[in-house]
Amino acid sequence: MVAMEPSVSLKQQAASASPDGRVAYPVVIVGAGPVGLTAGIDLGLHGIDTLLLDQDEALSEGSRAICFSKRTLEVLDRLGCAERAVAKGVVWNTGKVFLRDRLLYQFNLQPEAGHRRPAFINLQQYYLEQYLQNRLREHPQVELRWRSKVVGVEPRSDGVLVEVDGPDGRYQIAAQYLVACDGSRSSIREMLGLEARGQVFRDRFLIADVKMQADFPAERWFWFDPPFHPRQSALLHRQADDVWRIDFQLGWDADPELERQPERVIPRIEAMLGPERPFQLEWVSVYTFRCRRMERFRHGRVLFAGDAAHQVSPFGARGANSGIQDADNLVWKLARVLRKSAPESLLDSYDAERGPAADENILHSTRSTDFITPKSRVSRAFRDAALQLARSHPFARALVNSGRLSVPHTYRQSPLSTRDHDGFAGGPVPGAPAADAPLDIEPDTMWLIDRLGSRFVALYFAGAAPPSASVCSRLQGLANLAEPVHAIVLCEGGQAAQWHARGVDAFEDAEGLAARRYDAHPETLYLLRPDQHVAARWRRLEVRAVRDAVARAIGVLGPEYSAWQS
Amino acid sequence: MAELKTELNLAFPDDFYEALVALHRGLTDEQSEMANARLILLLANHIGDMSVLREAMRVAREDVDGDDGENTKAQD
């Protein structure tokens, strides 16, 4: 059943072998940024031989993406590499918005306790890349090649021929699938004659990373019209190593070359921080931004992820986070298609699910940008009116948009989801990511999200009832489906040991938080996909319904279904 | 779903009109623009019903540029 090598004919097309003598890989990833590395690690976890190519050497320059969301951290937890990022990063949940020199309002992105991960950490992209690379190296099946530029791509019906210009010359390799994670100026996209369409915003921003000792709290501070930078906006955010990210809105007429000169940058920062605070300038960049996307993220055997597929403005931390979630969505599907345990059409659901996610990000990002950079006199008047009113009228604070921060997309229209038939008043709907909750096993608290892993999971809420032989055998039987489903029981009243004694993975929902977050009654069952999104949910356990929902979630429908069952 | 009222709903229409004009007395054009923007935001929040607001925006635009108001559905 394992058929992971590209076809003989495709391999023969590969004229000259790569430096290791190998001519073919199941997956070639182009671009070793956060998205490509995430995809590479995940493919390694799924046991898929993968070659990761990057035209540069090692880490990215400058802090670049700095805000990593709770859901991203959960994905990294699944891949086994969030811990270092969280330890190194700056945890934050609070944002403050100022108008001139006064606080307008503040928000808390994670007001409730009982989640393993915070709303956000701030961490320079190069640190995240370093941790991802370290994790990648633990997978011998994944090879990372630096200074290897893809100079030719030839899509075939059964794979892709990839021409690589590496340190030792040019060579050609055959890939069954190519995953393009090569950023907003994707050369793969260009070589295939594909476009990303959207709009450019007529504004320029200065990003400066400065190193300084400061006791400002770890919060996101955003100013409209601050005294130190009148009529524009500014942002201050703390990163690891006492490095602070400062953004200054410059306006469209600013000269990008001039504005990145230290003699221009330093006075702006001094105006913000005051003359008595010493700092060092670490990195400066002047940028404009755009919101755009490719019409489709799948083109036969080539799949686009991250900035290559879609691009947003930085307000909202929706770039790297959505790219990592692209990889999270894609890899479990790709692994099953390569192993022939799911039809190739499953890959279309990558586009069907991540396309709307990109649209949601672009919508939020565009709205934020329109608020921060009003495009007309009247839109500036409304913006300023909302800011003025926000001081004393609470409703207007909701109109103030300094960036709506990244939350995971719910795949509402997903073809992989089974629609609710039973009544649920809350809990994650089909297509939504799993909710976390603490699970109390003495002496250590564990987290529900960590128990899920990269597999289909049937999450069964048992309440305080002791295990019955019938429920145990049905739950255990799910492991024997063509696509195995691992059963996890959440129980109350100290029953976990009883379930364990019957060979069922069980945890105590000690605070009842999991049951609340899933709107669970005794016998409620959630089916979770390998990317930890909900595939289906019911008020009672019925094996046939689970089997049908799993089939739907891996794209097995209609006539293929009877073959799949056997 | 409430509908936009276009029959008279004001008990004292002349009083309202006078107050609206008086609101702007002594303001520069720029200040008036700001007062209008604030007024619209306050009233919109008070109305609260998105379908009423969309309908009001459509009607507001209708005779201004001869367009049927579809453009007000854009995000801008």
B57 at A interface, C-beta within 8 A: no
Architecture in CATH of A8-89+123-196+292-364: 3-Layer(bba) Sandwich (3.50)
Which DSSP state fits A191? H
CB contact (8 A) between residue B42 and residue A363? no
CB contact (8 A) between residue A385 and residue B76? no
CB contact (8 A) between residue A367 and residue B42? no
B33 at A interface, C-beta within 8 A: yes
Interface pTM, i.e. ipTM: 0.87
Asked if residue A233 lies in contact with residue A249, where contact means CB atoms within 8 angstroms, the answer is yes
Given pLDDT bands bounded at 50, 70 and 90, which one contains residue A15?
low
A381 at B interface, C-beta within 8 A: yes
Model pTM?
Answer: 0.93
Domain residue limits, chain A: 8-89+123-196+292-364, 205-288, 438-565
Nearest CA in chain B to A389: B38
Domain A205-288 has CATH 3.30.70: yes
The angle formed by the CA atoms of residues A276, A281 and A286, to the nearest 5 degrees, is 120
Alpha carbon of residue A260 to chain centroid: 31
How many other C-beta atoms can be found within 10 angstroms of the C-beta atom of residue B23? 12
CB contact (8 A) between residue B41 and residue A366? no
Instruction: Indicate the residue of B36, B38, B76 with minimum beta-carbon distance to A389.
Output: B38
Domain A438-565 has CATH 3.40.980.10: no
Record the tokens describing residue A115, joined without a space: 């989640």
What pLDDT was estimated at residue A111? Answer: 81
Instruction: Indicate the residue of B41, B75, B76 with minimum beta-carbon distance to A385.
Output: B41
The tens digit of pLDDT for each residue in A271-330 reads: 999 888 999 999 999 989 889 999 999 999 999 999 999 999 888 889 999 999 999 999
Residue identified by tokens 């019955």 is A468
Comparing C-alpha atoms, which of A491, A271, A347, A372 is closest to residue A499? A491
B38 CA to chain A: closest CA distance, Å? 5
What pLDDT was estimated at residue A440? Answer: 75
The tens digit of pLDDT for each residue in A518-549 reads: 999 999 999 999 999 999 999 999 999 999 99
pLDDT of A334 > 80? The answer is yes
DSSP string of A324-379? HHHHHHHHHHHHHHHTTSS-GGGGHHHHHHHHHHHHHHHHHHHHHHHHHS-SSHHH
How many other C-beta atoms can be found within 10 angstroms of the C-beta atom of residue A366? 18
pLDDT of A18 > 80? The answer is no
> What average pLDDT does this structure show over A194-218?
92
A196 CA to chain B: closest CA distance, Å? 20
The tens digit of pLDDT for each residue in A125-156 reads: 999 999 999 999 999 999 999 999 999 999 99
